[in-house]
Chains A and B, each alone.
Chain A
Amino acid sequence: MSPLLAQSRPFPDWEWIQRNGDIVLEQGVQHVQLTVAAVAIGFLIAFPLALLASRRRRLAGPVLQVTGVLFTIPSLALFVGLVPLTGLSTTTALIPLTLYTLLILVRNTIAGLDSVPSEVVEAARAMGFREAALLRSVELPLALPVIIAGVRIATVTTIGLVTVTALIGQGGWGQIILSGFQRQNLTPTLVGFLLSVVLAVTLDLLLVALERRLSPWSRKAAR
Chain B
Amino acid sequence: MISFEHVTKRYPDGTVAVDDLSFEVDEGEILVLVGPSGCGKTTSMRMINRMVEPSSGTIRVDGRDVTTLDPADLRRGIGYVIQQIGLFPHRSVADNIATVPRLLDWDADRIDARVNELVDTVGLTPAMQSRYPHQLSGGQRQRVGVARALAADPPVLLMDEPFGAVDPIVRTRLQAEFLSLQEQVRKTIVFVTHDIDEAIAMGDRIAILAEGGVLQQLDSPTEILARPANAFVEEFLGAERELRRLALIPVSEVAADRGPVVRPGDTPAQAATAARAAGTDWVAIVGQDGTVHGWCDLADVTGPVDPAAARPFAATVRAHDTLRAALDVLVASPNGVAVRVGPSGSYEGLVTRELVTGALS
Contacts and interface: CB of A to CB of B under 8 A. Distances in A.
Q: Mostly helix, strand, loop or mixed at chain A's interface? A: helix
B49 A126 contact: yes
A217 B89 contact: yes
B105 to A, nearest CB: 12
Q: Mostly helix, strand, loop or mixed at chain B's interface? A: mixed
A77 to B, nearest CB: 43
Given A128-B100, A220-B134, A120 B72 contact: no
Contacts of B84: 117, 119
A130 B148 CA distance: 18
A122 B100 CA distance: 14
B80 A129 contact: no
A125 interface: yes
A68 interface: no
A117 B103 CA distance: 21
13 contacts: A117-B89, A119-B86, A122-B51, A126-B82, A127-B75, A127-B80, A128-B73, A128-B74, A130-B72, A138-B88, A215-B90, A217-B90, A220-B135
Given A120-B89, A142-B90, A217-B90, A126 B80 contact: yes
Interface string A67-85: 0000000000000000000
A4 interface: no
Interface string A93-124: 00000000000000000000000010111111
Contacts of A180: none
A5 interface: no
Interface string B84-96: 1111111100000
B132 interface: yes
A141 interface: yes
B67 interface: no
B186 interface: no
Contact of A142 (B82, B89, B134): B89
Given A119-B82, A126-B51, A127-B103, 15 more contacts: A119-B84, A119-B86, A121-B86, A122-B51, A122-B82, A123-B82, A123-B86, A125-B75, A126-B75, A127-B76, A127-B80, A128-B73, A128-B74, A138-B88, A220-B132
Interface residues of A, number: 22
A221 interface: yes
Interface in A125-154: 125-130, 133, 138, 141-142
A221 B89 contact: yes
Interface of A: 117, 119-130, 133, 138, 141-142, 215, 217-218, 220-221
Contacts of B86: 117, 119-124
Contacts of A127: 75-76, 80, 99-100, 103, 148
A122 B135 CA distance: 22
Nearest to B92: A217
Interface residues of B, number: 27
B85 A119 contact: yes
A141 B91 CA distance: 10
Contacts of B91: 217
A70 B98 CA distance: 46
A119 B90 CA distance: 14
A124 B89 CA distance: 12
A124 B80 contact: no
B82 to A, nearest CB: 6
Which 8 residue pairs of A and B lie closest in terms of their CB atoms, listed nearest first? A123-B86, A128-B76, A119-B84, A128-B75, A119-B86, A126-B80, A217-B90, A128-B72
A119 B49 CA distance: 16
Contacts of B73: 128
Interface string B47-83: 0010100000000000000000001111110101010
Nearest to A123: B86
Contacts of B88: 120, 123-124, 138
A120 B100 contact: no
Nearest to B103: A128
B336 to A, nearest CB: 51
Contacts of A220: 132, 134-135
B75 A120 contact: no
Nearest to A134: B72
A141 B85 CA distance: 19
B103 A129 contact: yes
